Structure 1
């Protein structure tokens, strides 16, 4: 039975749970044909997954949990596994909730795993920076994901069929970006003040990403092959003005859209003490989004893997309508 190492951070716990949920629905829950070895710095994270999906976890409940921050632990864990899943980011706000933090726990986790995997492993790497993965990307997280992808490709140097053992899954900004950080605060404040005016984003539902990743693992395990690059998006590209309308209908309270001029971003951030490099990153990301870097709608992969159309932003808002309580004005 193939076993995949699944490093889990606090940030990725919810996504990991969704991944296991869909995997259990695609295989027999009593005798699954895929298992996961959880690697975490916290036993509580592994325990929360074990309570719900005990048959999918490779390790015994009393065994020690391999710590992804310990190279020795990680090397031994990889020695027990056929492959690894790099999905420690776990949520779709890597580009849009700025400033980026290069010391993010999930990034260190994935860097550690990428360093130790070998060409004998089957590796799936997920990123939520679709359109921003590149050496000169304005997004720090986009550059970090590019570096991880390049390092993983290097593991298969000289292999003609590297893509059969390595897959990159790229998603644009996730709809769950509205459940945390600045976007969450703006929705609760009922004013979506954004510097992206004409740009559209094909926001993707996090459950579609988890379900697609699960289907990809099952497909590969049952005799299919990894095909290199998979692009996942939502079914429609929306402007922030359209998003505000959908949010208004979903929460039952008016959410206004307000355009915050690009020229005003820098002085506004300076006043709040935001470092200059972080401001430059934000300006670069805004310009790229305005130019349409995440407006492409590509649903063929999702439909092929899942057999249904991607979930809509309207559905996402309906599912989370109570998640945005109105914030009292200061």
Structure 2
């Protein structure tokens, strides 16, 4: 029985030559991201800006999240997070910090109480201040930095220096473009977003390592072929697996985007974008970057070294 192939096994597509377009495109998006980050900034959610948390218990025993969410949004006070937790109709509603200080925040709490207390028992109202939000920012940033350092250590032992550096560049590229997604779409950036970025780091590393493993194998097998040809061979030989992984993951995430509901939609949107970017990066950024990082077959490297030595000798003789 012949297996389904989303990409032909004997393909000879010249992926690496498209670096003349992919590199300028990625550079443009990276610069745009940096400019937007410095001028506009991220759309931080309640976790980072502070706000008010209200926990309620449905008197009927069954919470109607759609009604609670629509009622909360009707207050027109910015982003509102509505989630069900525990069992028996428990609901949490989070409002971000309102302009106007404690008076505006207290007025919002009273308005929410009046709207919900007929159907829900208000069990807890808690304000998350700027201090707690600052600690969350530090913890989230530290988590991302430590994950990147861990990736560096892993790649250092897994590959030789040039391949490891290429994988690191690809991973950092994917993180920057993911942050760009938050900046351009104004998607709320919260603790769930940190989890999405860490997941994308893992997915990016997985995609890149698969191609680079094949590259290392082919470097030992083929001693004297052009670097571009060898890299194209690496990508083509792993493309079937790359397309299958990206397609199945994207379809799962698309289902979450369409049917997962508002509570998980933000995470699903970021992850779906991340899958596309990581696949693009592994093929059109990380692998072509190896050309400029000096990755060569042993015979080709020896020939280049001999040519350089001959050129120096000729200069000395002249």
TM-score bin (small chain): under 0.3
**Highest RCO, 1 vs 2 (Cα 8 Å, sep ≥ 6):** 2
TM-score in terms of structure 1 length: 0.27
TM-score in terms of structure 2 length: 0.27
Flag the structure with higher helix content: 2
Rg larger for: 2
